[in-house]
Amino acid sequence: MSDEKSFHMSPAEFRRHGHAVVDWIADYYSRIETFPVLSRVEPGEIRASLPADPPRKGESVEAMLHDVEKLILPGVTHWQSPNFYAFYPCNASGPSILGDLLSSGLGVQGMLWATSPACTELETHVLDWLVGMLSLPQRFRSTSTGGGMIQDSASSASLCALLAARERATNFASNQHGCDGKLVAYTSAQANSSIVKDAQIAGLGRDRLRLIEVDQNFAMQPDALARQITADRQAGFVPCFVCATVGTTSSNAMDPVADVGRICREHNLWLHVDAAMAGTAALCPEFRHMHNGLEFADSYCFNAHKWMFTNFDCDCFYVADRASLVQTFTLLPEYLRNKATESGAVIDYRDWQIPLGRRFRALKLWFVIRHYGVEGLQHHVREHVRLAQQFADWIRSDDRFELAAPVPLNLVCFRHKGGDEANQTLMDRLNRSGDLYLTHTRLNERLTLRLCVGQTNTIERHVEHAWKRIQEEAASLP
C-alpha cells in the first residue's frame, strides 16, 4: 500500500498467505483424529526448539507455517479433537473462526459506542436474540432495564457482578473509600474457584466468601445459606452477593436457583447465576427447567465459547439493571468524552467490564447463530446430551463402574470401583494413549473421572470408542 520503503504485507500477499493459512486449518480439522489428544511434550521441550534470539531480518510466512507444523503442533493439546472429553469443551466451529477472522481484519475498538457503533450495536442485538433463544427473563433484554454483553470469561463476568453487588450494598462507598472488611458473599462449596479469586480481587477477602454446604447431589443447600446469612448479619457483617451455579465445573450440579433466589430477595442480596457450560442447553425447551428461578437473578452468564460452537473468548453476561453496573465502573476522562456518550442514547461497553479495550467479538457469535440457525444448535446440543446419557447407561450396566453424581446433561462423573489408585491408573493410561483425553475431580473424597461430551465434532462413534478404550484399560488393571 506504500510508495516508500515498507516491510508491511501487501493486500495481495495477505490474500495468498491467507489462503494458505485457511488451507492449513481445513487440513488440520481433516486430520485432527490422527494426533494424540493430550500433548506428550516435556516441560521446556518446545522452548528448546526455538531460536534464542528474534530474527533481525524478516522471514517468510512459509517458514512460519513450517514451524507451526513441526515445532508448535507437538506441543498442542487438541481441544478441537472430537476425542476431547476433559474439563469442559471450548468449542470452535467454521462460522466462528470466520467471524473471528473478520474481527481481526477489521481491527476495531469497541470501548465506546462512538469508536465503532456496529461493534456495540451488533453485540447488544445478538445478546437480545439469546434472551429469546434461551428463554431468559425479559428484564435481561437491553430494551428493558437490563442488557447483555460479551465478557472474556465467566470469571470476569462473576467479578463484575460481585463488584456491582459490593457497590449496591455500600451505596458506592467501597468505590470511594475502599472495602472495610465487613462485606460477605456466598457460593456453594462446589462452585468454581474463580468465585474465591473474585472475592480476593474485589477486596472482600477469602474469609468473607462463605462456602455453603451442598446436598448429596452436590447442590447448594438453601437452608444452610439462609442460616449463614442470618448469622453473618447478627455478627455485624454486611451480606451483599450470592453466586448460584447451574452446572458446577466439578460435577454439573444444579443449585436450586428459585430457592436461593427467594432468600436473596428476602435479604436484598445480589444474585448472580453462573451457567458457564450448562447454560447452552437452554436452547432446548426440555432442559430449561434448570433455569427455574432465574427471574430472581440480578446477573447471569453462560459461555458460548464452551458448548455453543463459538471460539474463545465469548462469555455472554446479562444484568437485570444495567445502571448498577455502569455506576460501578464509569469514569469519563476528557480524552474519551464524545457527543454520543453525553447524549445518553448509547451503550459504552467499557463501563460494563474490567478492561477499557474490547474487540468485535459479536461477529463470531452472529455468524454461529446464523450458520446453524436455532434448530441446528438445538440438534447438536441434544445429540451431545443423548450421547452422554448413553455413556452413563453403559457405566450403570457395567459392574466394575459406578456413577459418582447425577447426570443432568452432558457431563458424566464416574469411577471404577477399584478405588483411587485404579482410577488414577485408568486415567493416566487412557490419556497417555492419545486416543482420548479426560480429567478428574474429587467427589465425596474419592477420585472421580469426568467425561464431558460437548466438543463440536464429537458424534456417536467417538463416544463408543471412548467406552471401548475405557473397558479395555479397565480389563488390564492390576
- Near its own copies in 337-356, by CB under 8 A: 337, 340, 343, 345-346, 354-356
In this structure, are residues 80 and 29 in contact, taking their beta carbons and an 8 Å threshold? yes
Name which of 14 and 417 has its Cβ closer to its own copies.
Answer: 14
> 35, 36, 79, 83: which one contacts its own copies (CB under 8 A)?
79
- Within residues 18-37, the interface with its own copies by CB under 8 A covers 18-19, 21-30
What would the grid cell of residue 361 be? Answer: 467479538
- Least distance in angstroms from the C-beta of 472 to its own copies: 23
Question: Do the Cβ atoms of 281 and 302 come closer than 8 Å?
Answer: no
Positions 126 through 165 that interact with its own copies (CB under 8 A): 129, 132-133, 152-153, 155-156, 159, 163
Region from 123-131, 216-224, 226-234, 261-269 binding its own copies, contact rule CB under 8 A: 123-131
How is residue 270 written as a grid cell? 445480589
β-pair partners for 412: 451
Of 34, 331, 399, 475, the residue at the interface with its own copies (CB under 8 A) is: 331
Counting contacts by CB under 8 A, is residue 367 touching its own copies? yes
* Closest alpha carbon to 112 in 339, 364, 366: 339
Q: Which is nearer to its own copies, 336 or 422 (CB)?
A: 336
Minimal distance, residue 223 CB to its own copies, in Å: 25
Q: Distance (Å, rounded) from C-alpha 11 to C-alpha 20?
A: 14
Q: Report how far apart, in Å, the C-alpha atoms of 76 and of each of 36, 51, 137, 382 are.
A: 9, 19, 40, 29
Determine, following the binding rule CB under 8 A, whether residue 202 of this chain makes contact with its own copies.
yes
Give me the least distance between CB of 259 and its own copies, in Å please. Answer: 25
Q: Toward its own copies, which CB reaches closer, 50 or 231?
A: 50
* Maximum alpha-carbon separation in the chain: 75
Residue 98 binds its own copies, judged by CB under 8 A:
yes
Interface segment toward its own copies; rule CB under 8 A; list 186-194, 266-274, 404-412, 463-471: 186-194
Q: Residue 416: enclosing H or E segment and its boundaries? A: strand 411-416
The answer to the question of residue 440 lying near its own copies (CB under 8 A) is: yes
- Cα(407)–Cα(410) distance, integer angstroms: 7
Residues 414-433 touching its own copies, rule: CB under 8 A, are none
Taking CB under 8 A as the criterion, the residue among 36, 85, 97, 436 binding its own copies is 97
Residue 226 contacts by C-beta under 8 Å, 6 or more apart in sequence?
A: 263
The SS3 assignment for 464 reads helix
- Helix (H) / strand (E) element for 118: namely helix 117-133
Question: Quick check: 101 binds its own copies (CB under 8 A)?
Answer: yes
In sequence order, the 6+-apart residues with CB closer than 8 A to the CB of 270 are: 161, 162, 164, 165, 168, 169, 240, 241, 242, 264, 298, 299
Cβ closest to its own copies, residue 258 vs residue 459: 459
Question: Which of residues 161, 165, 204, 388 is near its own copies by CB under 8 A?
Answer: 204
> In the bound complex, what is the minimum distance in angstroms from residue 425's beta carbon to its own copies?
14
Q: Is 171 in the site for its own copies (CB under 8 A)?
A: no
Q: Is 323 in the site for its own copies (CB under 8 A)?
A: no
In angstroms, give the least distance from the CB of 249 to its own copies.
6
Cell numbers at 121, concatenated: 450495536
Please identify, among the stretches 73-81, 214-222, 238-246, 414-422, the one whose residues bind its own copies according to the rule CB under 8 A: 73-81
Residue identified by cell 466438543 is 455
- Residue whose CB is less far from its own copies, 24 or 266: 24
The dihedral over CA atoms of 227, 229, 232, 238, expressed in degrees to the nearest 10, equals: -170
Q: Is 299 in the site for its own copies (CB under 8 A)?
A: no
Q: Taking the CB of residue 5, how many other CB atoms lie within 10 A of it?
A: 5
Q: Which of 275, 290, 292, 260 is nearest to 408 (CA)?
A: 290
280 binds its own copies (CB under 8 A): no
